Structure 1
Amino acid sequence: MSWLADLSLDIRQGLGLAHKRDIAQVMKFLSPHSAEKIAMGDDCAAIPDADSYLLLACEGYLNDFVATQAWFAGYCGVMVNVSDIYAMGGRPIAVVDAIWSDGENQAKPLLDGLASAAQVYGVPVVGGHTNLRNDRPQLSVAILGRAQKLLSSFSAEPGQQLLAAIDLRGHFREPYLWWDASTGAPPERLRQDLEILPTLAETGLCAAAKDISNAGVIGTLLMLLECSGLGGAIDINAIPRPAGIDLERWLRCFPSYGFVLSVDAINSEAVIEMFEQRGISCAAIGKTDDSGRLRLKAGDEEQLLWDLNSEALIGCGPNRQD
């Protein structure tokens, strides 16, 4: 088996995609009850509201993460939700949190991290739920935002260029697959970097984007393609990557600032330039097509990663079976 085939298998069988497969299971129950005009499977629910959209999202965190990285888990409660709002072309309004712990001392680092990120990203915490009488710490955070025009996983079209924009000015929070380009960075810079996304939506330079999640850049692109009923090919060597970082590890990591976008070729150069002006690495890494098959390329070699025609990932595509 070739190196590219081994890499594709590792991505397919990785924990990041396994977590995303869980979505398909709950979709079977939620789809019949979802609002007719609200697509399910995007980074946020986009609820039409007069001439704009209310954006609503929620994140829950694994018990081990909350127990061992309490401050950073609280910080991520805001950071990750904020990224989801901007990935949809919106701007955040406020967050609420639900926290459980065995006493106040166990809750404190979670709340400290939450408060720090709220200040950094300029998003107030306006309420939530508290239980200090639980047997372990647990955390969930929800966010509300608003968009004038949407960036959506359902808006990609065949023949567009796939871009990856990632802030490489960070470091791994060893030994984890978390690329941290947020903590310690200037708050104003972080907020202005995120403003690129709603600007792209409002200027019409882009209509389809997604926040790179713990599924990594490849898994996140697969979700975007599934929602739009597309396939595509990705040149893994074109993906922006810090010097000295192993490719296989990088493809599986969750970056604190990372987005994939599907852009008309005529607009690609302008979109890349907007990120580059902010010091964000952005590159064209592939192209969409109507095959329903995602392939990875390296040099002259090509390897099928996933055939969405025969196997769904999150079950949110246009051809899903409810």
Structure 2
Amino acid sequence: DCAIIELDGNNELILFAADGIWHKLVEADPYFAGYCSVLVNVNDIVAKGGKPMAIVDVLGLSDQEKSDKIVAGIIDGCKKFGVACVGGHLHPDSPMLSISVAILGLVHKDHIIFSDTAKIGDSIIIAIDLDGMFHSKFKLAWDTTSHKSPEKVQEKFEAIYRIAEEKLATACKDISNPGSIGTLAMLLEASNVGGKIDVEKIPRPENINLLKWVKVYPGFGVILTSSKNNSKKCIKILEDHGISASIVGKVIQEKRLFIGSNNKYIPVFDFLKDHISGKP
């Protein structure tokens, strides 16, 4: 999710990430697209144990009214997530409306959590903020932030910072467009391992269909791997910060991801054949 830049003689690492927002979201809800352009980048930094510092944006302008809404969303997103927008670039005659954002963050070199370092035998933890609602136009967007204060939103970040500082996680990745299972698959593939999970143990709100829920892109959610000795500590920290978390399975040597429940499991990814993240 992030490039990591080491500075000579410095105990802090620079985190550098970027995301473009899906054109259908930009057209359907420009304000939310601007807001999400901040959210997705901040989550990339936080999942590494880092603190977001500043963003720049690249805005393609084809409709002034919609562009104003994108900018309003970016402004509110920066306030909500505690990050400054320090500049950017404008395409004033773009053939289509678009928004992309790049972000810088900082993390102490001893506190960084990578997304490709899960170890065989680790517990797999899925943690999601369940206090949310589905977006009216995008049925898989689980909004957990727009209705909360900046303090409540940023409280979730503190859970990851503490886990990072105490070195309790072996790997972490924020849940994004692939949903919880797809994101887990990316983490496992990059770590050159496999996994086996009980999907019924994934935290979810009552009365939401499991098949739909595993496809959801939450405002805040992470996949963590942790040693058996540290997994319960991770869950307690997450729950203390208002994040529902559960051990859903374990990391295995076989390079496949199995999902199921009641001792019935099927493989959904074979990492010897399926290439997801593109990591060699």
TM, length-normalised to structure 1: 0.83
Correspondence for 1:104? 64
* 1:238 and 2:201 matched: yes
Correspondence for 1:90? 50
Contact map agreement 1:236 1:297 (CA 8 A) in 2: yes
Give the Å deviation of 1:105: 2.2
Correspondence for 1:46? 4
RMSD: 1.1
Q: What is the DSSP-based 3-state SS (H/G/I as helix, E as strand, rest coil) of the residue aligned with 1:88?
A: coil
Q: What is the DSSP-based 3-state SS (H/G/I as helix, E as strand, rest coil) of the residue aligned with 2:55?
A: strand
Cα deviations across residues 116-147 of structure 1 (Å, max 9, x unaligned)? 01011110100010122222210100100011
Correspondence for 1:281? 244
Correspondence for 1:301? 264
Q: Aligned partners of 2:137, 2:95: CA distance in 1, in Å?
A: 27
When residues 175 and 113 of structure 1 are mapped into structure 2, their CA distance, relative to the original with a 3 A threshold, is closer
Q: What is the DSSP-based 3-state SS (H/G/I as helix, E as strand, rest coil) of the residue aligned with 1:183?
A: coil
Q: Aligned partners of 1:305, 1:63: CA distance in 2, in Å?
A: 29
* 1:157 and 2:119 matched: yes
Give the Å deviation of 1:313: 1.5
Q: What is the DSSP-based 3-state SS (H/G/I as helix, E as strand, rest coil) of the residue aligned with 2:18?
A: strand
Q: Aligned partners of 1:247, 1:263: CA distance in 2, in Å?
A: 24
Correspondence for 1:311? 274
Which letter does structure 2 place at the counterpart of 1:56? F
Give the Å deviation of 1:103: 4.4
Which letter does structure 2 place at the counterpart of 1:161? S
Correspondence for 1:168? 130
Give the Å deviation of 1:278: 1.6
Contact map agreement 2:18 2:41 (CA 8 A) in 1: yes
Among 22, 25, 36, the alignment partner of 1:76 is: 36
Among 70, 73, 85, the alignment partner of 1:113 is: 73
Give the Å deviation of 1:188: 0.4
Correspondence for 2:143? 180
Cα deviations across residues 277-319 of structure 1 (Å, max 9, x unaligned)? 1221000011001111100021121101111022221221xxx
Cα deviations across residues 193-241 of structure 1 (Å, max 9, x unaligned)? 1121122111111131000011000000000001110001010000000
TM, length-normalised to structure 2: 0.96
Contact map agreement 2:119 2:170 (CA 8 A) in 1: no
1:128-207 paired onto structure 2 within 5 Å: 128-148=88-108, 149-176=111-138, 177-207=140-170
Contact map agreement 1:103 1:133 (CA 8 A) in 2: no
Q: Aligned partners of 1:233, 1:256: CA distance in 2, in Å?
A: 25
Q: Which runs of 5+ in 2 are unaligned?
A: none
Q: What is the DSSP-based 3-state SS (H/G/I as helix, E as strand, rest coil) of the residue aligned with 1:243?
A: coil
Which letter does structure 2 place at the counterpart of 1:44? C
Correspondence for 2:254? 291
Contact map agreement 2:28 2:137 (CA 8 A) in 1: no
Contact map agreement 1:55 1:147 (CA 8 A) in 2: yes
Among 164, 185, 191, the alignment partner of 1:228 is: 191
Which letter does structure 2 place at the counterpart of 1:164? I
